[in-house]
Amino acid sequence: MKQYLSIIILICTINLLKAQTRTVELLKDWKFSNYDYGAAFQEDFNDSKWDNVTVPHDWAAKGDFDFANDVQLTMVIQDGESKPRLRMGRSGALPYTGIGWYRTNYSVSSKNLEQKTQLLFDGAMSNAKVYVNGQYAGERPFGYISFHFDITKFLKAGDNTIAVRLENFNRQSRWYPGAGLYRKVSVIKTNKTHVKTWGTFVTTPSVSKKKAIVNLNLELVGSGDFIIKNEIFNLEGKIVATKKSAVVIKNNKTVKEEFEISKPNLWSLENPNLYTLKTTVLEGSTMIDTYETTFGIRTIRFEVDGFYLNDKKTRFQGVNMHHDLGPTGAAFHRELFVRQMKKMKAMGVNAIRFSHNPPAPEALDVCDELGLLAIDEAFDEWQIGKVINGYSIHFDEWAKTDLTDMIVRDRNHPSVIMWSIGNEIMEQYKLDPNNITDYLNKIVKSLDTTRATTAGFNSANNALKSGMAYTVDVAGFNYKPGIYGAIRKKHPNLKFYASETGGTVSVRNSYKFPVVFDTLHNKRGASLNTFVFPDGHPGNYESTQVPWGYPAVKEFASQEKNTSVYGEFVWTGYDYLGEPSPYHEAKSRSSYFAPVDFVGLEKDKYYLYQTQWKKDEEVLHFFPHWTWPDLNVKSFPVVCYTSYEKAELFVNGKSYGVQTKKPLSTLDFENTNINVEASGGGSWNLTKAYAIVWDDVVYEPGEVKVVAYNKKGKQVAEMTRVTAGEPHHITIEPEIKTINEGEVGVYVISVVDNNGNLCPHYNENMKIDVQGSASFLASGNGDPTNLQNLSKPERKFFNGQAVIFVQSNKKGNVDITTTSGNFKKTNHTLTVK
pLDDT band per the 50, 70, 90 thresholds, residue 11: very low
Average pLDDT over residues 751-761: 98
Using the 8-state DSSP alphabet, how is residue 326 labeled? G
Average pLDDT over residues 94-114: 94
Answer yes or no: is pLDDT of 354 > 80: yes
Q: What is the dihedral of CA 515, 521, 527, 533, to 10 degrees?
A: -50
Answer yes or no: is pLDDT of 428 > 70: yes
Residue 668's pLDDT is 92
DSSP 678-721: ------HHHHHHHSEEEEEEE--SSEEEEEEE-TTS-EEEEEEE
**What gap in Å lies between CA 541 and CA 623, rounded to an integer?**
9
Average pLDDT over residues 599-621: 97
Q: Work out the mean pLDDT of the chain and round it to a whole number.
A: 95
Least confident of 195-204, 520-529, 673-682: 520-529
What digits encode the pLDDT tens for the residues 237-278?
999 999 999 999 998 999 999 999 999 999 999 999 999 999
Answer yes or no: is pLDDT of 519 > 90: no
Average pLDDT over residues 132-152: 98
Answer yes or no: is pLDDT of 141 > 80: yes
The Cα-based distances of 198 to 48, 201, 220, 410, 554 in angstroms read 36, 8, 11, 8, 43
Judge if the upstream peptide bond of residue 572 is cis by omega within 30 degrees of 0: yes
List all residues 6 or more positions away from 300 whose beta carbon is below 8 Å from its beta carbon. 307, 308, 309, 417, 450, 451, 452
**What gap in Å lies between CA 353 and CA 552, rounded to an integer?**
17
Angle at alpha carbon of residue 811, lines to 806 and 812, rounded to 5° = 80
Answer yes or no: is pLDDT of 746 > 70: yes
List all residues 6 or more positions away from 499 whose beta carbon is below 8 Å from its beta carbon. 353, 375, 420, 423, 454, 456, 457, 476, 477, 478, 569
Average pLDDT over residues 331-336: 98
Using the 8-state DSSP alphabet, how is residue 504 labeled? B
DSSP 21-86: --EEEE--EEEEESS--TTTTSTT---TTSEEEESS--SGGGS---GGGS-EEE--GGGT-SS-EE
**Pick from 659, 661, 648: nearest CA to 704:** 648
What digits encode the pLDDT tens for the residues 171-190?
999 999 999 999 999 999 99
Q: Please give, one letter per residue, the 3-state secondary structure of 457-476.
A: ECCHHHHHHHCHHHHCCEEE
What digits encode the pLDDT tens for the residues 227-240?
999 999 999 999 99
Average pLDDT over residues 610-638: 96
Answer yes or no: is pLDDT of 81 > 90: no
Residue 776 burial (CB count, 10 A) = 18
Q: What is the dihedral of CA 455, 460, 461, 463, to 10 degrees?
A: 0
Answer yes or no: is pLDDT of 87 > 80: no
Answer yes or no: is pLDDT of 15 > 50: no
pLDDT band per the 50, 70, 90 thresholds, residue 77: low
Look up residue 719 and give its amino acid: M
**What gap in Å lies between CA 771 and CA 476, rounded to an integer?**
49
Q: Based on the number of CB atoms within 10 Å of its own CB, is 248 exposed (0-12), middle (13-18) or buried (19 or more)?
A: exposed
Answer yes or no: is pLDDT of 4 > 50: no
* Contact of 690 with 661, CB cutoff 8 Å: yes
- What SS3 state is found at 369? helix
pLDDT band per the 50, 70, 90 thresholds, residue 64: very high
pLDDT band per the 50, 70, 90 thresholds, residue 79: low
Answer yes or no: is pLDDT of 549 > 70: yes
Question: DSSP H helical segments within 448-538, as ranges?
Answer: 460-466, 468-471, 484-490
Residue 531's pLDDT is 85
**Pick from 315, 386, 389: nearest CA to 98:** 389
- The sheet carrying 312-313 orders its strands as 300-303, 306-309, 312-313
Residue 80's pLDDT is 64
pLDDT band per the 50, 70, 90 thresholds, residue 21: confident
The Cα-based distances of 677 to 241, 305, 386, 504, 527 in angstroms read 52, 22, 20, 17, 12
Task: Return the active site residues.
Answer: 424, 500
Residue 78's pLDDT is 64
Q: Based on the number of CB atoms within 10 Å of its own CB, is 667 exposed (0-12), middle (13-18) or buried (19 or more)?
A: buried
Average pLDDT over residues 69-97: 79
Average pLDDT over residues 583-593: 92
Residue 2's pLDDT is 45
* Contact of 238 with 231, CB cutoff 8 Å: no
- The packing angle between helices 334-347 and 605-613, to 10°, is 60
Radius of gyration of the chain (CA): 28
Residue 181's pLDDT is 98
Q: Which residues pair with 246 in a beta bridge?
A: 227
**What gap in Å lies between CA 380 and CA 581, rounded to an integer?**
18
pLDDT band per the 50, 70, 90 thresholds, residue 518: confident
Please give the sequence-ordered ranges of beta strands (E in DSSP) within 174-271, or none if there are none.
185-190, 194-207, 211-233, 239-262
Strands 29-33 and 147-150: unpaired
Q: Which residues pair with 495 in a beta bridge?
A: none
Answer yes or no: is pLDDT of 629 > 60: yes
Least confident of 70-84, 405-419, 425-439, 763-777: 70-84
Please give the sequence-ordered ranges of beta strands (E in DSSP) within 479-577, or none if there are none.
496-502, 567-571
* Contact of 336 with 804, CB cutoff 8 Å: no
Residue 9's pLDDT is 39
